[in-house]
Amino acid sequence: MDNTRQRAFTRLQRTLGQLRSGRYAESKVSRGATHPMLKLTEEVKSALSEDKPVVALESTIISHGMPYPQNVETARRVENMVRSNGAIPATIAILEGKIHVGLTPKQLETLGALGEKCRKCSRRDLALAVSQKANGATTVAATMYIASLAKIPVFVTGGIGGVHRGVEETLDISADLTELGRTSVAVVCAGAKSILDIPRTLEFLETQGVPVVAYQTNEFPAFFTPKSGCLAPLRLDSPKEIAKFLHAAGQLYLQNGAVIAVPVPKDQAGDAGLIKRTTTQALNEVIEKKIKGRDITPYLLDRINQLTGGHSLKANINLVLNNAKIGTKVAVELAKLRSPSL
């Protein structure tokens, strides 16, 4: 191994060790202290130290989910939704190798302008991105992990990844699902992305011991549309009920996360028939073009947006804003339970 590769390997090993030591030595960290590899904004740091509600937000939806500048505009609207409902937003991303929990307006603009030039980072990519001082947008899995390091219990996103169609041949299962099985963060979303095999996604979550709670509905939502045809395993009807459930899970020291599935409002949803037709066409194109791995989801979402004439993107923005509203209300109620003085 030449010197350059040896130095890179050494940096990677050091980064992995630092992440691991921070995760498993939490009992030795004083109350209010932050993980040494995280850069928190003063606003986020202050809120956490005072046990005020903070909501984690991912960054892949900004870099890979929407075009610029619509991505930045949407990110700002989501952060404003969190603030208007009583919590502090903490958008998570990696900029020049630094893991940020909370972004300044300038950093948010930078992330949005970089777009797909940012590395798409799941859990497995975090150490490499940090060691190489790269720019990275965090997926659901990576955002969950970093939120847990920062001690943020509620995370809002658009939709989770899941079991891909054709899994019998590809074994393509999102790392989001395994992360939900081992990281104690609640993920508020509009269900699994409709491009996925939703029945198998729900089965996989059950195997991982992950509770799936539908909000005010008996049916698991399908991202762009409020109905998937699959019954939800659990149902709760208010942010307070959900907060009590999450608080009890924390008291039991359960190490898994939870899916809080919030259907997009019917008047803001995508047209179910149109979404189904365009999804089928886009999936066929993926097979024809032999698109693989992490490139599949961005391609499908972009192609469906093209085929629907922007209809799906509008629904995507609507559902993210709705998730932010409900997720923030849950975070506020959970903070009250954890710190009755609030």
pLDDT (tens digit per residue) in 232-247: 999 999 999 999 999 9
Looking at 45, 58, 325, 333, which residue is catalytic?
Answer: 58
pLDDT in tens, 75-124: 999 999 999 999 999 999 999 999 999 999 999 999 999 999 999 999 99
β-pair type (136-138, 88-95): antiparallel
Report the distance separating Cα 286 and Cα 301, nearest Å.
12
Cβ–Cβ contacts within 10 Å for residue 293, how many? 9
Measured CA to CA in angstroms, residue 224 lies from 190, 192, 231, 274, 294 at distances of 8, 10, 17, 11, 20
**Stretch among 16-25, 214-223, 327-336 having the lowest mean pLDDT:** 16-25
Taking the model in full, what pTM does it have? 0.89
H helix intervals, the chain = 3-24, 42-49, 60-63, 70-84, 105-114, 126-131, 140-150, 167-170, 175-180, 198-207, 239-251, 272-289, 296-307, 311-338
Contact status, residue 194 vs residue 224, Cβ threshold 8 Å: yes
pLDDT at 340: 77
151 is catalytic: no
Q: For residue range 51-73, what is the model confidence (pLDDT) as tens digits?
A: 999 999 999 999 988 889 999 99
When pLDDT is cut at 50, 70 and 90, the band that residue 28 belongs to is very low
Which residue is catalytic, options 79, 120, 179, 193?
193
User: Angle of helix 70-84 relative to helix 105-114, nearest 10 degrees?
Assistant: 140
Write the pLDDT tens digit of every residue in 10-27.
Answer: 666 666 665 654 444 343
One-letter amino acid identity for 76?
R
Residue 338 one-letter amino acid: R
User: Does residue 58 have an active-site annotation?
Assistant: yes
